[in-house]
Amino acid sequence: MLGYLARRLVLLAPVLLGITVGVFLLLHLIPGDPAVVLLGQDANPADIARLRRILGLDEPLIVQLGRYLGRVARGDLGDSIFQSQPVTTIVFGALPATVELALASLLVAVLLGVPLGVLAAVRQYSPYDYGTMLVAQVGVSMPVFWLGILAILLFSVQLGWLPTFGRGEGVPAAVEAGLTGEGWGALRDALRFLALPALTLGFSAAALISRMVRASVLEVLGQDFVRTARAKGLRERTVIVRHALRSAMIPVVTIVGLQFGYLLGGAIITETVFAWPGVGRLMITAIGQRDFPLVQGAVLILALLFSLVNLGVDLLYAWLNPQISYE
Amino acid sequence: MRGSLRRLWRSKSAVIGGSIVLAVVLGAVLAPVLTPDDPEAMEMTKRLEGPSWRHPMGTDQFGRDLFTRVVYGARISLSVALVAVALSVVLGVGLGLLSGYYGGTIDLLVQRLVDIFLAFPVLLLAIALVAALGSSPRNVVLALGLVGWTNYARVVRVDVLALKGREFVYAARVVGVPDHRIILRHILPNVLSPILVLATLGVGYAIVAEAGLSFLGLGVQPPAPSWGWTVAFGTRFLRDAPHLSTFPGLAIMVTVVGFNLLGDGLRDLFDPRSRQR
């Protein structure tokens, strides 16, 4: 297992390098002179020259790349053009909100998607199966921003149960307040803010998860060891829970893990719908302001996070699955 | 071929999905016949009217008929998604064929490129590309095409690796058929069916992604009647005119359901193992 881990880490290195080079090249995809595009056609030449210096555009591409890689390796992603703060400070400031939303959505997705998928498989071709798969089909086909808007219409505008926009203090701060004896009201508020975005994003992911879990369980139910278990005269419940589900859940780990990337992408849109102050919304605002260092930093940090999560999922999968050899 | 069509006809999801797709395509093509209105002509006296006989989906904030805008919006969504998927397929199938057939350094390079692209959440990469290139239909197509090719490349590569060892490829090589002919004439036709399935599902995804980009203000720009942008702008009138966001969103969902069902149906047809599930 340690050898496998080492090999995966070695394979990760060129990918991380590739991500960084890709993010560096983004700036150079801007048609024309990026400094002019970022500042606008009628900016004065002195400002344009200054921005070119800040962005390092006055040097050959390969030198720029070398400097960029060096800076990234030291954890320096430059300064935001509009907020005159280091990009890392701004992005890491917004990251907890994004992670909170992604984790809460993942929780919703797993709690909804896994049991629904298992039940649909166990009762294949029943009205329950058809019903669940119909809802799942609609769920995967629904743009997450539209689902969010429908949720706002129902739960905020019509029923007035939940707040429409914002995050409040956030769950971690609210938990801390609760633990230090300031009461749990803040946590209740934080969860009320979290509910709509997490349900929206989680529902889309749950739809995908339930479809894949159903397929995975059906595949296992057709295998010999399940037939043997049934032939031994075990109760159907025991066959399903003790035998089939155990091995069906191994691919489900990968499925759920891969959803995290989907959730990070979906979070960009969900954050915009609910004005959730995370990295996604930060990035969209930065794109609007043409604050390119901030856009690059947000993309780089989200992609690095995604790669690390994927690595973790692969390792977990290898650890759970006795059929994988680490060699 | 005829047997395949008959089986496809018997697949419920393929028939329902295919009918939805056909209806949307016909709606987009026949838009001027379906509605007498101009999707961009404003009539401020009629702004934000609810659904009625004259305006089945109501009117928008500029008094434009929403049904007309949704029907014309199908043209944007379909053309952007279809061209983007075509670009992904050409890129992915091309690189997958080369990578699987030649192996060695080419394979190594293509696989590392796949790894790097897969290291970005798809939507994040598309947003970043459009942010750099600027928002226009052409750049949205480019961005979606560039982020979507990896699946095709991976599937084709695995199929080519299996086909490469088969007798008919070996025979072709022995009689001196050049590589490019072997790849195009003998291997390519054998890897196309899973690509058709992936591409059909890919169109659905591209429609959602295009709508997402437009929703964020990064896609097709107004006054063009893009579905995503119309939903986004409608959120400003959520209290008084919820129809503005609801109908275009419904159009996106129905269209994507159509492509997904058709893709599922095609998969059952080509992969008998999945049919039993």
pLDDT tens across B138-185, in order? 999 999 999 999 999 999 999 998 888 888 888 998 998 998 899 988
Structure tokens at A161: 């149960």
The radius of gyration of chain A from alpha carbons, rounded to an integer in Å, stands at 24
Question: What is the overall mean pLDDT for chain A?
Answer: 84
Angstrom distance (rounded) from CA A24 to CA A33: 15
Averaged pLDDT for residues B236-252: 87
Q: Does the model's ipTM exceed the 0.90 cut?
A: no
Q: Counting every residue, how long is chain A? A: 327
Q: Counting every residue, how long is chain B? A: 277
Which pLDDT score, from 0 to 100, does residue A322 have?
A: 65
B67 or A60, higher pLDDT: B67
Encode pLDDT of A29-49 as tens digits.
877 777 877 777 788 888 888
Answer yes or no: is pLDDT of A325 > 60: no
What are the φ/ψ torsions at residue B133 (nearest 5 degrees)? -75, -25
Structure tokens at A51: 């921005």
Which pLDDT score, from 0 to 100, does residue A86 have?
A: 92
Which pLDDT score, from 0 to 100, does residue A224 have?
A: 84
Question: B273 falls in which pLDDT band (50, 70, 90)?
Answer: low
Averaged pLDDT for residues A223-247: 83
Of B115, B120, B232, the CB nearest to A303: B120
Angstrom distance (rounded) from CA A112 to CA A124: 18
Which pLDDT score, from 0 to 100, does residue A8 have?
A: 81
Nearest CA in chain B to A32: B133
Which residue type sits at B230? Answer: T
Nearest to A259 by CA among A204, A200, A298, A311: A204
Which pLDDT score, from 0 to 100, does residue A105 have?
A: 93
- Give the minimum alpha-carbon distance from A188 to chain B in angstroms, rounded to a whole number: 26
Contacts of A29 in chain B (CB under 8 A): 129, 132-133
Answer yes or no: is pLDDT of A12 > 70: yes
Interface test with A, best of B110, B205, B207, B216 (most A CBs within 10 A): B216
DSSP sequence for A83-110 = T-SBHHHHHHHHHHHHHHHHHHHHHHHH
Which pLDDT score, from 0 to 100, does residue B272 have?
A: 58
Question: What is the overall mean pLDDT for chain B?
Answer: 87
Encode pLDDT of B97-147 as tens digits.
999 999 889 999 999 899 888 888 888 889 999 988 888 889 999 999 999
Contact B215 A31 (CB under 8 A): no
Nearest CA in chain B to A303: B120
Contact A265 B218 (CB under 8 A): no
Interface test with B, best of A141, A219, A307 (most B CBs within 10 A): A141
Of A219, A283, A288, the CB nearest to B277: A219
Angstrom distance (rounded) from CA A47 to CA A139: 49
Which pLDDT score, from 0 to 100, does residue B95 have?
A: 95
Averaged pLDDT for residues A123-137: 89
Q: What contacts A225, CB < 8 A, 6 or more positions away?
A: A243, A247
Tell me if A108 sits within 8 A of A191, measured CB to CB.
Answer: no
- Give the minimum alpha-carbon distance from B197 to chain A in angstroms, rounded to a whole number: 16
Contacts of B256 in chain A (CB under 8 A): 141-143
DSSP assignment letter at A272: H
Burial letters for B59-88: b for 16+ Cβ neighbours within 10 Å, e otherwise?
A: bbeebbbbbbbbbbbbbbbbebbbbbbebb
Q: How far is CA B264 from CA B83, B125, B204, B245, B250, in A?
A: 21, 27, 12, 29, 21
Tell me if B34 sits within 8 A of B25, measured CB to CB.
Answer: no
Nearest to B129 by CA among B203, B120, A182: B120
Tell me if B110 sits within 8 A of B99, measured CB to CB.
Answer: yes
Averaged pLDDT for residues A275-279: 91
Encode pLDDT of A251-274 as tens digits.
787 778 778 777 887 888 899 999
Burial letters for A43-56: b for 16+ Cβ neighbours within 10 Å, e otherwise?
A: eeeeebeebbeebe
Contact B119 A18 (CB under 8 A): yes
Angstrom distance (rounded) from CA B131 to CA B143: 10
Contacts of B211 in chain A (CB under 8 A): 143, 145
Q: How far is CA A169 from CA A97, A175, A184, A187, A190, in A?
A: 10, 10, 12, 8, 6
Which pLDDT score, from 0 to 100, does residue B229 have?
A: 87
Contacts of A91 in chain B (CB under 8 A): none
**Identity of the highest mean pLDDT range in A53-57, A218-222, B109-113:** B109-113
Which pLDDT score, from 0 to 100, does residue A235 have?
A: 85
How far is CA B221 from its chain centroid? Answer: 19
Contacts of B204 in chain A (CB under 8 A): 141
SS3 B59: strand
Q: What contacts A205, CB < 8 A, 6 or more positions away?
A: A105, A106, A108, A109, A113, A259, A262, A263, A266
Averaged pLDDT for residues B193-221: 90
User: Which residue, chain included where needed, has tokens 């226009």?
Assistant: B136
Which pLDDT score, from 0 to 100, does residue B160 have?
A: 92
Question: A324 falls in which pLDDT band (50, 70, 90)?
Answer: low
Nearest to B70 by CA among B60, B84, B61: B60
What are the φ/ψ torsions at residue A86 (nearest 5 degrees)? -60, 140
Contacts of B238 in chain A (CB under 8 A): 149, 152-153, 157
Nearest CA in chain A to B215: A145
State the count of interchain CB pairs (< 8 A) between A and B: 140
Half-sphere exposure of A70 (CA within 13 A, CB side): 6
Contacts of B262 in chain A (CB under 8 A): none
Contact B121 A306 (CB under 8 A): yes
Averaged pLDDT for residues B33-43: 81
Burial letters for A127-161: b for 16+ Cβ neighbours within 10 Å, e otherwise?
A: eebeebbeebbbbbbbbbbbbbbbbbbebbeeeee
Question: Is residue B7 classed exposed, middle or buried when 0-12, 13-18 and 19+ CB atoms within 10 A define those classes?
Answer: middle
Answer yes or no: is pLDDT of B51 > 90: no
Averaged pLDDT for residues B203-215: 91
A56 or B113, higher pLDDT: B113
Interface test with B, best of A17, A27, A29, A302 (most B CBs within 10 A): A29
Answer yes or no: is pLDDT of B2 > 70: no
Which pLDDT score, from 0 to 100, does residue B274 have?
A: 54
- Helix ranges restricted to H, A222-291: 224-231, 236-238, 245-273, 279-288
